Amino acid sequence: MDSSFQEGVMQVIEGAVRKKTAALDLKEKELKVREEKVDKVLKNVSTKGKVVLQVGNVQFHTTTKILLKVEDSFFHALLNPNLSEEDDESIEENQSTQKKLIEKGNESAQKKFIENDNESTQEKFIARDGNIFHYVLEYLTYDKLVTKISDENILRKLILDAEFYLLPELQQEAEEMLKTVKENGDDIRNLKRMLETAQEKMRVFDQAQEKMVVFNQAEEKLRLLSTAPEKIAKWQSTSGAGNGGYWNWNVVVVAPNSQYYELQSGNTVLVKTKGTYMVMVRVAGTMTSNSYYIELYVNGGSGGHARSMNSDSNGYYKSFHINEVFSFEANSKLQIYQSTNGSPYNTQICNQFSIIKLL
């Protein structure tokens, strides 16, 4: 076999081996980095040094690492292995005692206790509000209050407990949060007061509006009543119209105001002003034809304005009425037309023509 060919084959094989070796080295480094990360995570989540705290009637599970995160806190005294049973019972008496007990502890012993790898779990009881301790443990775990508390009473309790547990930064954070909540509460209360005031003003305004409407209605009625006499005219008649004629109004009951009305030729009422009017007519008489009727003529024509009729022709007295509201133009002429001959009941009380301007 040609030596040059063998050398070429060897070079190809060596190159492939080098590439494979480099890939394996890179993979090994990646695995090492990943293992270090896993070890770090496992170290942080280690359950070694577990502590069970019974705070009031609520139980909490945590670790010594979390509880001892803040130096010189209440928990250094609570978990100090160098304290006697007598000391342990006096931890919660007051802050001064707590500080002294913390100072009494041996640093090397505390460090040894914290780093102890045994799997034992400590159980401790604290006579405080367990619902508030929830926020204390949250602060120790995350180095801050994650939950935004809006209840002033909870914040006041938390401030007292932060002072008790010797956690000044938590106390300050709770105090600032309480200040913000109070300011927001004041703003909300002010807005509510402003809203209530506005609603009250609207209620008073609505009542005033209602009273104004009633007042305006009453004023309008008073105005109509006060001006009604001058807008009313009334006549009576003692003689019928005759066959196909107009009734004559020969007796004045309410004299017409010349601004609004004028009686012309005894049988024609001239309406001088444009507006809305009420016309009331009543006549009585005996009929000589069963097609007897009366009708309001305007400007010489019937136009279907108003008619009253009766088909009985037995000779008895009959009464005919027109009571309608009309819109008249200025200088409209009104007459009461009688269809056929008949004998009027010649009594002024029975036969009358009334008109009143409404608008």
**Short-list 238, 347, 339, 337, CA closest to 287:** 339
| 179: amino acid identity, one letter | K
Least confidently predicted of 172-181, 183-192, 204-213 = 183-192
To the nearest 5 percent, what fractions of the chain are helix, strand and coil? 45, 25, 30
Residue 217 is predicted with a pLDDT of 80
Rounded CA gap, 98 and 84, in Å? 13
Looking at 4-13, 120-129, 254-263, which range is the least confident one? 4-13
Above 50 in pLDDT, residue 170?
yes
Q: Which pLDDT tens digit goes with each residue over 138-165?
A: 999 999 999 989 899 999 999 999 999 9
Whether the per-residue pLDDT at 175 is higher than 50: the answer is: yes
Instruction: Show contacts of 266-271: CB within 8 Å, 24+ apart.
Output: 267/241, 267/335, 267/336, 268/333, 268/334, 268/335, 269/233, 269/235, 269/333, 269/334, 269/335, 269/353, 269/355, 270/331, 270/332, 270/333, 270/334, 271/328, 271/330, 271/331, 271/332, 271/333, 271/334, 271/355
285-316 burial code (b ≥16 CB/10 A, e <16)? bbbeeeebbbbbbbeeeeeeebebeeeebeee
CA 27, distance to chain mean position in Å, is: 64
Q: Is the pLDDT of residue 132 over 90?
A: yes
CA 212 to each of CA 161, 223, 299, 359: distance values in angstroms, whole numbers, following the listed order: 62, 16, 42, 21
- For 216-245, write each residue's pLDDT tens digit: 887 777 666 566 677 889 999 887 777 778
pLDDT, tens digit, for every residue of 42-68? 455 444 589 999 999 999 999 999 999
Cα–Cα distance list, 23 to 27, 34, 258 (Å): 6, 17, 123
- pLDDT class for 79, splitting at 50, 70, 90? confident
Residue 135 has pLDDT above 80, yes or no: yes
Locate 66 and state its tokens. Answer: 């979390």
pLDDT of 117: 43
pTM for the model stands at 0.40
Q: How is residue 234 written in tokens? A: 């009334």
